[in-house]
């Protein structure tokens, strides 16, 4: 027994996307409420129907949202642990809640305002915060600086980009992956963003632009990094039976999983003993295996892939780990044009991704998957029936979800 | 050059944490570091190393450890060259190299360190290069481990 085909996404709502800090005087909380109301309205539902929260990275406090919006009764309130890796997996948790009869109408959302807090870590405070991250996954934190911090705090690795570059360098060393391959991810993603009114970065990038861009930390240049942005995106999930009677064509959750190999652990954020055979990967292999088994399909059946793209090399590794190409061949695979919208064998991040549209920690990918399967996407993949959405690589859990039209 | 980060040397990331916050598991590492020695905890049951030191062995779930002195040499497993300072005051140290090194005398995964690699030709550093540990004695408590090319 699994959650296969038990629940469907029936509503999507979002605020506009903003460059970092520009959503002020809105707040993360007000944007969360705006996105939830918009998603309910899209589904033809109201707050009187809403009874569940399945979120990730503790994106909002259901207690505060419930009180603010006057939700009559909350029957389910969970967040996956860790950070953005749980994005796609939170949809599976919503489906499980619905299938188990614990809730009927569940919202999954992210809201983000990088006014005072920058995930990239720039201020001295941020530098220290990243270097000394607690061992605890609890928002209450551990008790001060953990003893393990002294083993990493003085090593000069101050941001997620510094950490993920280690994985990218290793992949280049093992498989001959090149910066040209990273460039193709950035250029094709930007091409997709150009036509999107919601996209924050719409100037075309050429290969020359890519190689002339400032190196942030080798092998990553400016274009390999996601942007920092503000906004909120929410989606509403309910049972497949109820979905049939609602306003929008349903998007069915075929399969969803979150997790990963135990010793992928918190990955390079504060752990660096990942087994050799997984180090130069996205950490998604166990999740990929589970969702394809659950759905009873293979990567060849996927029409469009919305892959979490905080750093361009991690798209290449996800293409490998989800089986779109063999391990180690992701670089040549993208160089051959396979991820291009319109001509490639598996169009990737048709919305412009985190790299070029906006970085709302993965929820823009869920929104795009729904639009593709409703047939309303700006860069519509012709005849799209099945979409893959992923969350992470990050500290565990990472996650993946397969969605189907109808 | 003096900043909030103290005296800065090109290529050397300053010791921003000056306390070890040590507990019973990590204190032996810092005691040895003060004496320019690299020690690591080895599972007394199965021989697996683990850094940072942790209560349980991930291989056999036992707690017993023996502290073993290692030669202090290592191989670069991966690295990044940080060119953009995340704080303006860190500009004088850029570019610098930080990466993962695998320690000699251990058996692969389980005893890597994530460290600043100093005194390197930044443009020619590569995975597989041989390096050795060098400690900066920050104060009586903290000795920051860094690695430099084997001399
Ligand atoms: Zn053991």
* Whether pLDDT at A120 is above 70: no
For the segment B102-115, the average pLDDT, to the nearest whole number, is 86
- A379-389 burial code (b ≥16 CB/10 A, e <16): bebeebebbbb
The number of C-beta contacts closer than 8 angstroms across A and B is 137
Question: Cβ contacts of residue A23 below 8 Å, gap of 6+?
Answer: A15, A31, A113, A115, A230, A231
* Whether pLDDT at A123 is above 50: no
Which tens digits make up the pLDDT trace of B46-62? Answer: 999 999 999 999 999 99
Which tens digits make up the pLDDT trace of A300-332? Answer: 999 999 999 999 999 999 999 999 999 999 999
> Per-residue confidence at A139, pLDDT binned at 50, 70, 90?
very low
Query: Rounded to an integer, what distance in angstroms lies between the CA atom of residue A85 and that of residue A89?
Result: 8
Per-residue confidence (pLDDT) for residue A175, from 0 to 100? 98
A130 flagged as catalytic: no
User: Chain A, 176-215: which have a CB under 8 Å from a chain B CB?
Assistant: 214-215
Domains and CATH numbers, chain A: 7-113+230-405 (3.40.47.10), 118-158 (no CATH)
User: Is there a contact between A198 and A16 (Cβ–Cβ < 8 Å)?
Assistant: yes
Q: At what angle do helices A312-321 and A179-194 cross, to 10 degrees?
A: 100
Comparing A132-146, A199-213, B96-110, the range with the smallest average pLDDT is: A132-146
Query: Rounded to an integer, what distance in angstroms lies between the CA atom of residue B103 and that of residue B112?
Result: 6
User: Is there a contact between A360 and A198 (Cβ–Cβ < 8 Å)?
Assistant: no
Per-residue confidence (pLDDT) for residue A298, from 0 to 100? 98
Question: B107 CB near a chain A CB, below 8 Å?
Answer: no
* Whether pLDDT at A141 is above 60: no
Per-residue confidence (pLDDT) for residue A133, from 0 to 100? 57
Residue of A17, A225, A308, A322 with catalytic role: A308
| Of A348, A303, A364, A388, residue with least CA distance to A108 | A364
Per-residue confidence (pLDDT) for residue A129, from 0 to 100? 61
Chain B residues inside the 8 Å CB shell of A156? 13, 82, 96, 98, 116
Per-residue confidence (pLDDT) for residue A272, from 0 to 100? 82
Question: Cβ contacts of residue A215 below 8 Å, gap of 6+?
Answer: A221, A222, B81, B83, B84
What rounded mean pLDDT belongs to chain B? 94
Which tens digits make up the pLDDT trace of A37-94? Answer: 999 999 999 999 999 999 999 999 999 999 999 999 999 999 999 999 999 999 999 9
Comparing A25-29, A63-67, A158-162, the range with the smallest average pLDDT is: A158-162
Per-residue confidence (pLDDT) for residue A382, from 0 to 100? 97
Per-residue confidence (pLDDT) for residue A267, from 0 to 100? 81
Q: Provide the whole-model pTM.
A: 0.95
Comparing A142-156, A288-302, A319-333, B96-110, the range with the smallest average pLDDT is: A142-156
Tokens of B14: 């300053």
Which tens digits make up the pLDDT trace of A342-380? Answer: 999 999 999 999 999 999 999 999 999 999 999 999 999
For the segment A231-260, the average pLDDT, to the nearest whole number, is 98
What rounded mean pLDDT belongs to chain A? 93
For the segment A1-9, the average pLDDT, to the nearest whole number, is 97
> Per-residue confidence at A184, pLDDT binned at 50, 70, 90?
very high
* Whether pLDDT at B3 is above 70: no
Question: B32 CB near a chain A CB, below 8 Å?
Answer: no
Per-residue confidence (pLDDT) for residue A220, from 0 to 100? 98
For the segment B49-76, the average pLDDT, to the nearest whole number, is 95
Question: B22 CB near a chain A CB, below 8 Å?
Answer: yes
Give the total residue count for chain B: 151
């Amino acid at each position: 027994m699994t959650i296969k085909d038990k629940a469907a996404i029936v509503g999507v709502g979002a605020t506009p996307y903003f460059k970092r800090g520009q959503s002020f005087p809105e707040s993360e909380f007000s944007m969360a409420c705006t996105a939830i109301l918009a998603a309910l309205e899209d589904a033809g539902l109201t707050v009187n129907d809403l009874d569940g929260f399945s979120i990730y990275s503790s994106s909002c406090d259901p207690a505060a949202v419930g009180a603010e919006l006057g939700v009559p009764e909350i029957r389910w309130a969970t967040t996956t642990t860790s950070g953005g890796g749980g994005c796609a997996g939170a949809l599976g948790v919503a489906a499980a809640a619905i299938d188990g009869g614990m809730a009927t109408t569940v919202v999954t959302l992210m809201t983000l305002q990088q006014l005072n807090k920058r995930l990239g870590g720039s201020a001295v405070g941020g530098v220290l915060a990243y270097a000394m991250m607690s061992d605890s996954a609890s928002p209450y934190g551990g008790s001060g600086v953990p003893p393990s911090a002294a083993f990493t705090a003085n090593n000069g690795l101050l941001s997620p980009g510094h950490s993920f570059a280690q994985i990218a360098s290793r992949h280049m060393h093992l498989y001959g992956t090149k910066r040209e391959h990273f460039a193709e991810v950035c250029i094709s993603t930007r091409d997709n963003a150009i036509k999107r009114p919601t996209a924050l970065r719409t100037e075309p990038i050429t290969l020359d632009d890519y190689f002339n861009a400032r190196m942030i930390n080798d092998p990553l240049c400016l274009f390999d990094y996601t942007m920092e942005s503000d906004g909120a995106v929410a989606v509403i999930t309910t049972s497949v039976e109820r979905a049939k009677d609602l306003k929008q064509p349903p998007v069915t959750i075929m399969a969803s999983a979150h997790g990963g190999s135990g010793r992928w652990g918190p990955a390079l954020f504060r752990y660096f003993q990942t087994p050799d055979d997984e180090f130069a990967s996205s950490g998604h292999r166990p999740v990929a295996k589970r969702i394809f088994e659950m759905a009873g399909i293979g990567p060849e059946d996927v029409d469009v892939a919305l892959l979490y793209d905080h750093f361009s090399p991690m798209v290449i590794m996800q293409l490998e780990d989800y089986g779109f190409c063999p391990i180690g061949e992701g670089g040549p695979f993208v160089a051959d044009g396979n991820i291009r919208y319109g001509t490639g064998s598996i169009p990737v991040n048709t919305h412009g991704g985190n790299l070029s549209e906006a970085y709302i920690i993965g929820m823009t990918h869920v929104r795009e998957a729904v639009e593709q399967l409703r047939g309303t996407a700006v860069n519509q993949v012709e005849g799209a029936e099945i979409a893959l959405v992923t969350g992470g690589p990050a500290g565990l859990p990472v996650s993946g979800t397969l969605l189907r039209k109808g | 050059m003096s900043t909030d980060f103290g005296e800065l040397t090109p290529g050397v990331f300053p010791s921003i944490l000056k306390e070890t916050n040590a507990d019973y598991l990590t204190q032996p590492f810092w005691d040895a570091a003060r004496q320019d020695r690299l020690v690591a905890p080895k599972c007394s049951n199965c021989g697996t190393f683990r850094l940072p030191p942790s209560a349980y062995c991930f291989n056999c779930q036992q707690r017993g450890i023996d502290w073993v002195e290692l030669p202090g040499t290592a191989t670069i497993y991966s690295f990044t060259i940080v060119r953009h300072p995340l704080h303006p005051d860190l500009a004088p140290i850029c570019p610098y190299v930080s990466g993962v090194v695998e320690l000699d005398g251990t058996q692969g995964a389980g005893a890597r360190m994530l460290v600043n690699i100093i005194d390197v030709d930044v443009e020619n550093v590569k995975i597989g290069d041989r390096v050795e540990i060098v400690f900066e004695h920050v104060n009586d408590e903290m000795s920051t481990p860094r690695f430099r090319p084997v001399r």
